[in-house]
Amino acid sequence: MKFPPGFVWGVATSAYQIEGATEEDGRGVSMWDTFSRIPGRVERGETGEVACEHYHRYREDVALMADLGVTSYRFSVAWPRVQPDGRGGPNPKGLDFYSRLVDTLLEHGIDPCPTLYHWDLPQPLSDAGGWLVRDTAHRFAEYAAVVAQRLGDRASTWITHNEPSVSAFYGYGLGRYAPGEMRMLDVFPVVHHLLLSHGLAVRAMRPHLRGDAITGIAHNLSFGRPVSPAPADSDAAELLTALQVHLFCDPAFLGGYPSAVLEHMPVGNAVRDGDLALLTEGHDFLGVNYYGPQYVTAALPGDPLPFRLVDPPEGVRRNELGIAIEPAGLAELLGYLRTRYRSALPPIIITENGTACPDVPAPDGRVEDHDRVSYMDRHLRAVRVAIAEGSDVRGYYVWSLLDNFEWTFGYSKRFGLVHVDRATRERIPKASYHWYRDLIAATR
Ligand code: IFM
């Protein structure tokens, strides 16, 4: 497989999912610490308290990345480590950790790609209303500036938010993720404050960033797919696509929110004068996290949403989380973005793609995750197709380097190129790790 010169090969992780050490070195409490301790929220009551012990084993993990040959590592910064209360003076030990991580990456020739928010909101900010309130967007900008001040001389690719749609819909709409609110589609203020905070953060960070630094958001983008050709199912799928793609990308690339979507969401008075201009700022690239489409049918009377989310139909392959596996959907999505946003669409980075497999080590210790290899191979071929058709895709990050805390699934689902033993945290590179290493070596 050939990729354009300078194509970025990476792996991605996030703080709460791998770091552990949640009570060390002055880290504050995040809303995921709180949420995961509520009985019934996470399988087997698991939490990120220990996770992969990355906070202590980061050197070992960077060595694994160096051996893999990746050119970039996408990690997230835990806001509660940097500002334990979500505001005010930084916690030096928290910032030191990320500074050490960045130095270690650079020593190994790996570009650091920090994400500032991967869902671990400081608990005091969540208690004060979280992303429902506008002040959180301002707090985020303040925090972003603090991190940029410390790491801005060494990191050049910055992501403010990971999957704002998941923050909004899973966290505040469906109650599946922290903070667990069930407002269904009444989450427009959350969406707006998240997107607004990107613009505010980029403005606050700029003076501290290198001249060549680029900023963007990593969006979870996928199509709604109807389970049947019935017009009502197609309408449901169209609405879901609009909620996942248009609602989050139109403000940046078309200058406003899609009116068809807003008909389904109470808008209130969240948008103030000057906000729309801010929403268009700081999109040097579009981060695309792609897993697969979401199947839907028309809603039934009494349903809380104007569509019904359903499992993929018989015959559609799915991963361990039940997500449909459709590599061609990635090329289709990239084409759709080209057509919808035309010259306003910036270069694209695939900021997450990967799959969960059962991954049991064989008696000889090897983990032969051939399904993951096939998944990555087919998705990278889809990226190639999209590039040949005109998409400007600059990089690809596998989710994830390590088996980690998969939110409500706890540690039961494994996305890593590297197997992590749950008892000892021993790392074992899987067959997919070796495959990815060979691919990177062959394409560089
Ligand atoms: O583990 C998550 C990650 O935190 C965000 N994107 C999807 C991944 C797999 O579900």
User: 229: CA distance to ligand 1 center in Å?
Assistant: 30
Q: What is the pLDDT of residues 301-356, one digit of tens each?
A: 999 999 999 999 999 999 999 999 999 999 999 999 999 999 999 999 999 999 99
Percent residues over pLDDT 90 in the chain: 100
- Is 163 one of the annotated active-site residues of the chain? yes
CA distances (Å), origin 15, targets 94, 115, 236, 405: 12, 9, 35, 10
Percent residues over pLDDT 70 in the chain: 100
Q: How far apart are CA 388 and CA 90, in angstroms?
A: 46
Q: How far apart are CA 118 and CA 126, in angstroms?
A: 14
C-alpha closest to that of 96 among 150, 155, 29: 150
Rg (CA), the chain: 20
**Which atom of ligand 1 lies nearest, measured to the CA of 354?**
9
Long-range contacts from 415-424, C-beta under 8 angstroms, 24+ separation: 415/354, 415/355, 415/356, 416/359, 417/11, 417/68, 417/372, 418/64, 419/359, 419/361, 419/367, 420/52
Q: What is the pLDDT of residues 423-433, one digit of tens each?
A: 999 999 999 99
User: 406: CA distance to ligand 1 center in Å?
Assistant: 7
Range 89-105 average pLDDT = 98
The pLDDT score that the predictor gives to residue 181 is 98
Q: How far apart are CA 119 and CA 31, in angstroms?
A: 8
State the Cα torsion 45-48-49-50 to the nearest 10°: 110
Q: What is the pLDDT of residues 29-64, one digit of tens each?
A: 999 999 999 999 999 999 999 999 999 999 999 999
Q: What is the DSSP string of 249-300?
A: HHHHHTSS--HHHHTTS--TT---TTHHHHHTTT-SEEEEE----EEEEEPP
What ranges do the domains of the chain cover?
8-443
C-alpha closest to that of 14 among 120, 137, 142, 141: 120
Q: How far apart are CA 337 and CA 325, in angstroms?
A: 20
Range 359-363 average pLDDT = 95
Residue ID of nearest Cα to ligand 1 atom 10: 406
Domain 8-443 listed as CATH 3.40.190.10 = no
**Which atom of ligand 1 lies nearest, measured to the CA of 220?**
6
Q: Of these residues, 19, 46, 326, 352, which one is catalytic?
A: 352
**Which atom of ligand 1 lies nearest, measured to the CA of 14?**
4
Q: What is the pLDDT of residues 409-426, one digit of tens each?
A: 999 999 999 999 999 999
**Which atom of ligand 1 lies nearest, measured to the CA of 406?**
1
| Local structure of residue 320 (DSSP, 8 states) | T
Ligand 1, CB cutoff 6 Å, lining residues: 14, 17, 163, 289, 352, 399, 406, 415
Q: What is the mean pLDDT of the chain?
A: 98
- Is 406 one of the annotated active-site residues of the chain? no
pLDDT band at 201 (very low <50, low <70, confident <90, very high): very high
User: 354: CA distance to ligand 1 center in Å?
Assistant: 9
Q: What 3-state DSSP class applies to 30?
A: strand
| Local structure of residue 361 (DSSP, 8 states) | P
The pLDDT score that the predictor gives to residue 104 is 99
Residue ID of nearest Cα to ligand 1 atom 2: 406
Residue whose tokens read 């991967």: 118
The residues, any chain, with a CB within 8 Å of residue 38's CB and separated by 6 or more, are 180
Residue whose tokens read 């190129």: 417
User: 404: CA distance to ligand 1 center in Å?
Assistant: 10
The pLDDT score that the predictor gives to residue 283 is 98
Phi, psi at 217, each rounded to 5°: -115, 145
Asked whether the predicted pLDDT for residue 444 surpasses 90, the reply is no
The pLDDT score that the predictor gives to residue 1 is 82
